[in-house]
Structure 1
């Protein structure tokens, strides 16, 4: 029995070292060498301090800022350790109530805006962590942001255009705007 157990334990420890330690260290080292920005989380810095990541959304509640998509993560919004969607179907009354509440909040923040509310401002993304909004969602919010920041609306639209990203990989998807980067640009423009 010991003759069978010893090789199995040795193989277990060797494979644990290779797959659990050596391989992750090697791939992390290669990633940091080839893609240093991405390998460290695509962090965004302001005045030498990390203020977020380009890859994970943040909650902005101040009406002077562009607001992100609603987050469906547990405990706190944009909680990367609890990524996941709300899993509410289109006929679920809870989803319809949540959408009505979000529309009411958007209308209350900008009562003069009678334009249709873009869907991504009132629905969750699949992960609950989406850092982007559609160009339409950014343009919908532009009058409120411009008014509260005393900026010309044309300047806010220009910032949206400057921060509009193309389709991922140039093939699928719509143009989008990273909310964190746009809000940082707003702070710099003010």
Structure 2
């Protein structure tokens, strides 16, 4: 019995060193060789960090493209989904309110034309991208509020579409909105 206890203590110590020291240091070192040097890939405007490429942000002004709804208010510290099932009355009310908001700001849009990602939050609540269709349904509103031609805004969406090798294409909302601001500054 004593031999088993000593083996257990040794194994525990080895695993503690491996998993609490060596593994985290290896991951931190690998992060230093990534794009953001382990601090995340930041997006800057005029030398000032305005966001992170892999974290969604809230855009509510009608002259900007809106991102995917967040169940956690875009709080990266509390990344999570809503845990509400598709038959939950509160969840259905949230989705219905989001649909009504989209229909209010996009009068020519029908309920059937609204992509799911524009009214449902992602599993993390921090999705930085929307579908290409989600961006295209917003073009008319953004162009109208910015006094731009719709073709110019569609072209901007196309330029900011991430081509996918696996999975669907996506549009990073922060990058698209920054490109939109830059277009108007010219």
| Shorter-chain TM-score range | 0.7 to 0.9
Aligned to 1:68: 67
Cα offset, 1:31, TM superposition: 2.8
* Count of residues paired in the alignment: 181
2:161 is aligned, of 152, 160, 164, to 164
Greater alpha carbon shift after TM alignment, 22-31 vs 60-69: 22-31
Shift in alpha-carbon separation, 1:38–1:134, aligned structure 2, 3 A: farther
Cα offset, 1:26, TM superposition: 3.8
Q: Which runs of 4+ in 1 moved over 3 A?
A: 5-19
Give ranges in structure 2 of 5+ residues lacking alignment. none
Aligned to 2:146: 149
How many angstroms apart in 1 are the aligned matches of 2:134 and 2:75? 22
Q: Deviations over 1:162-190 (max 9, x none)?
A: 111122xx12x211101010001001001
Aligned to 1:97: 93
- Normalising by structure 1, report the TM-score: 0.83
Residue 137 of structure 2 aligns to a residue whose secondary structure is helix
1:2-41 map, 5 Å: 16=16, 19-33=19-33, 35-37=34-36, 39-41=38-40
Cα offset, 1:11, TM superposition: 8.3
1:85 maps onto 2:84 in alignment:
no
Residue 59 of structure 1 aligns to a residue whose secondary structure is coil
Residue 171 of structure 2 aligns to a residue whose secondary structure is strand
1:183 maps onto 2:177 in alignment:
yes
How many angstroms apart in 1 are the aligned matches of 2:122 and 2:37? 22
Superposed CA RMSD in Å reads: 2.5
Shift in alpha-carbon separation, 1:18–1:96, aligned structure 2, 3 A: closer
Residue 148 of structure 1 aligns to a residue whose secondary structure is helix
